[in-house]
Amino acid sequence: MSASVERKLWLVIVVALAVGLLGSVAMILFRDFLARFATSWG
């Protein structure tokens, strides 16, 4: 049970990191476009 759960958990982490990486790259590539939405906290 432990090994199977561990694999699933790592899958969640890897998918989250992959999505985060894609999102980060998109934020950098479209920095100028996204700047129009840049706001301070609030």
Partner 1 sequence: MHALTIAKVAVSLGYAVLPYLVIHLAIADRDHPRSVAGRLVLGTVVGLGGVVAAATLTSAVSFPAYLRLHAAAGVAGIACLVWSWTRSSRRWSTPLARRVDLTVLAIVVVAAGVRAAPLLLGGETLGGNDARFHNVLSQKILVEGKLGETWSPIASVPVVYTRGVHVLCAFIAAVSGVSVHEAFNALFPLIGALNVAVVYGIGVALFDSRGAGRLSAAAYAFLPAWGSLDYFRWGGLPNAVGMLLLCAVVWILVLQARTAPDGGLLRQLGTRWAWVGAFLVAATALVHHHSFLVTAIVLCFGVSFAASPGMRAVTLAVGAGGAILASPVLLTSYAAHLGRAGTTSVFQFREPSLTLWDCFVALNPVFVILFAGALATVRRVGWDARRILVLSWFAALLSTFVFFEYVYRAASLLLTAGRDMFTGFTPSRMATDLAYPMAVLCGAAALSDTWRRRRRGATAILVLACAATCTYAIVHQRGIGVYPTIRDAGRWIRENTPPDSLVVGQLPHLEYSAWRECSHPALPASEPRNDPSLAWKRNMRGPAAWREWSLETGREVYFVVPNRVPPPPLYRAYANSDVTIYRVSESGEPRP
User: Does 23 participate in binding partner 1 (rule CB under 8 A)?
Assistant: yes
Question: Rounded CA gap, 3 and 5, in Å?
Answer: 5
Residue 8 lies near partner 1 (rule: CB under 8 A): yes
Half-sphere exposure in the Cβ direction for 8 (13 Å, CA): 5
CB of 23 to partner 1, least distance (A): 3
20 close to 12: Cβ distance less than 8 angstroms: no
Under the binding rule (CB under 8 A), the answer on residue 29 touching partner 1 is no
Contact residues for partner 1, defined by CB under 8 A: 1-2, 5-6, 8-9, 12-13, 15-17, 19-24, 26-28, 34, 37-42
